[in-house]
Chains A and B, each alone.
Chain A
Amino acid sequence: MLSKFLSSENGRGLLMVSPPFLYALLLMAFPLIAIFLFSFWTQDFMTLDTTFTLNNYREIAEKPIYGALLQRSLFVSASVTAVTVLLAFPVAYFLSFHVRPDRKSLWLFLITIPFWTSYLIRVFLWKVILGYNGVINTGLINVGLIDEPLTFILYNVNAVIITLAHAFAPFAILPIFVALEKIDRSLLEASQDLGESKFMTFMRITLPLAMPGVVGAVLIVFIPTIGDYVTPELMGGAGGKLIANMIQTQFLALNNAPLGAALAIVAMLCVTAISLTFVLINRRWLKGRS
């Protein structure tokens, strides 16, 4: 019976995929379930109380600080996503439509390289660029455009958004590029032969067909940015701290892991709900057009 299963096509496939599957099950699914359970427990300094309670969630709902942090985090993630995807789209478009085919992988390589260099140091360097004595301020003063250093670009939410938009750039470009590459070029010619302008061709053919890539880019930027605490810590100053900083504090400094777990769950649920809504709206929009 077993040997028959293992020699079947279905069985061999499942056997082959089982090591990575079991690994993800044990080290991702199981811990996620654990942290979900954990968020209903309480911790008093070092002793863990495993009676079921909604106290952690109640505290999150009642204390305004958590709501405010969550709101700010979602705002930052959404802004980063919008900025990143809007800036990335023309680059992906240029790569797909205007770069010679044999040059494409060189361009892609150049775009991905900065992404693979030390994240911490890259964030710190943005501080050097945006800071009081930073590259931008010194440059603008030397040119004579400003007399006083600009202060709105460091230690606040703007700085966090700029830094994160930089960090996630390749994540936005690549999915859009892949979607654009798949577009059948003869559709564009047909549209123009039938009298549509270049702009209308873009709006009615290129953009709808590129939408799966845009959605992919939005999700792959929006979801992970909620979990970053390095950038807000280094760039955000006092007013730029985000929910991930609070989760980190609850776990590592305040020894209140269950509350941290509940915060993590709430943040995850918000992000998932927003992402699903976005996907659904987009699907309806595409359907409405066809």
Chain B
Amino acid sequence: MSLRIYAIAYLIFLYAPIVLLPIFAFNDATIIAFPLSGFTTDWFTELASNKSLHAAVKNSLFIALVSAVTSTILGVCAARAGAMHRFRFKAGIMGFIMLPLVLPEIIVAVSLLVVVVQILDLGLSNWTIIAAHVLICTPFCIAILNGAFQNLDPAMEEAAMDLGESRFSAFRLVTLPLVMPGIISSMLIAFTISLDEFIIAFFLSGSSPTMPVYIWGLLRFPASLPVVMALGTILVALSIVLLTIAELLRRRGLARAGVKDEGGFL
């Protein structure tokens, strides 16, 4: 009983900052503090007319989309190899691919910065951010896709091949539909991570900032803070919708593969 109370208190601790977001987003004052003064939707209207924000959002959406698709493709390769094949140095190779999960982001950022700018002498652009985001998203994709691939019966693909399908079309016709929910859920998670990622994007962005980099700039100006709250509210609502879809699909995928549900994303 006391454990339950503790767990609920812990949930409140987890949600405390997020609950404040909509409160201040609709609060009619430029200072982010209590007491509240009145209701307004001005901050949302201001969002709608901010051109440089729109450019940053567009950048971030592009980066997140490309990163999500690429890291999910890499994740499918790794999860499939991990679940359905035996090969030499398997544990070492899989561990190496999962390593970005524990690598501090600043290390990823500075090492890629050095390679791109100092060694390859290339400019920074959205593509440098994408390269880094694919690296850090792939382990998350693998973690999700493992669930989808692990309990797949290899005999099903073999049966399709015995019946005359090529290796690739056996994969496309048999395995792919079974792991599709996992793939979509992996793309949604990678999309969310990339969209929100700041530490790496700050180092690797070129002349056009991503949305978190733009928000970082706004945080220094007290006058723009209510607008940040409004933007944050929209982002939180959006990620909750995306994550709910991802979770529902992940469950459906497990049900389709006939596996017991054993937990969340990580």
**Which residues of A are at the interface with B, using a C-beta cutoff of 8 A?**
9-14, 16-21, 23-24, 27-32, 34-35, 38, 48, 87, 90-91, 93-95, 98, 104-105, 107-114, 116-122, 124-126, 128-129, 131, 133-135, 138, 166, 169-171, 174-175, 177-178, 181, 219-220, 223-230, 234, 244, 247-248, 251-252, 257, 260-261, 264, 267-268, 271
Contact = CB atoms under 8 A, between A and B. Distances in A.
Given A21-B97, A34-B111, A105-B251, A230 B198 contact: yes
Given A16-B77, A121-B235, A134-B33, A114 B18 contact: yes
Main secondary structure of the interface of A (DSSP, over half): helix
B44 interface: no
A260 B110 contact: yes
B96 A118 contact: no
Nearest to B106: A227
B263 A177 contact: yes
A138 B34 contact: yes
- Interface residue range, chain B: 35 or more
Interface in B98-135: 99-108, 110-115, 118-119, 131-132, 134-135
15 contacts: A10-B86, A20-B74, A20-B138, A21-B93, A24-B96, A24-B138, A32-B111, A105-B247, A112-B265, A117-B232, A121-B215, A131-B33, A135-B20, A174-B263, A230-B199
Given A9-B87, A16-B77, 17 more contacts: A10-B86, A16-B85, A20-B78, A35-B110, A94-B3, A109-B243, A117-B236, A117-B239, A120-B215, A121-B21, A128-B24, A129-B16, A134-B33, A225-B104, A230-B198, A251-B113, A264-B106
Contacts of A32: 107, 111
Contacts of B103: 28, 223-224
Given A91-B10, A251-B113, A16 B20 contact: no
Given A125-B18, A129-B17, A229-B199, A17 B77 contact: yes
Interface of B: 3-4, 6-7, 10-11, 13-18, 20-21, 24, 31-35, 73-75, 77-78, 80-82, 85-88, 90, 93-94, 96-97, 99-108, 110-115, 118-119, 131-132, 134-135, 138, 142, 189, 192-193, 196, 198-199, 203, 212, 215-216, 219, 225, 228-229, 231-232, 235-236, 239-240, 243, 247, 251, 261-266
A141 B18 CA distance: 23
A251 B264 CA distance: 37
Contacts of B10: 87, 90-91, 169
A216 B39 CA distance: 46
Nearest to A138: B34
B17 A13 contact: no
A175 B15 CA distance: 21
A251 B203 contact: yes
B85 A125 contact: no
A114 B11 CA distance: 10
Contacts of A12: 85, 87
A154 to B, nearest CB: 12
Nearest to A29: B96
Contacts of A171: 266
B150 to A, nearest CB: 14
Contact of A117 (B18, B78, B93, B105): B18
Contact of A31 (B6, B114, B240): B114
Contact of A13 (B86, B101, B263): B86
A181 B101 CA distance: 22
A38 B263 contact: no
A125 B134 CA distance: 28
A247 B107 CA distance: 10
A42 B261 CA distance: 54
A20 B114 contact: no
B264 A108 contact: yes
B6 A121 contact: no
A118 B196 contact: yes
A174 B93 contact: no
Contacts of B17: 114, 122, 125-126, 128-129, 166
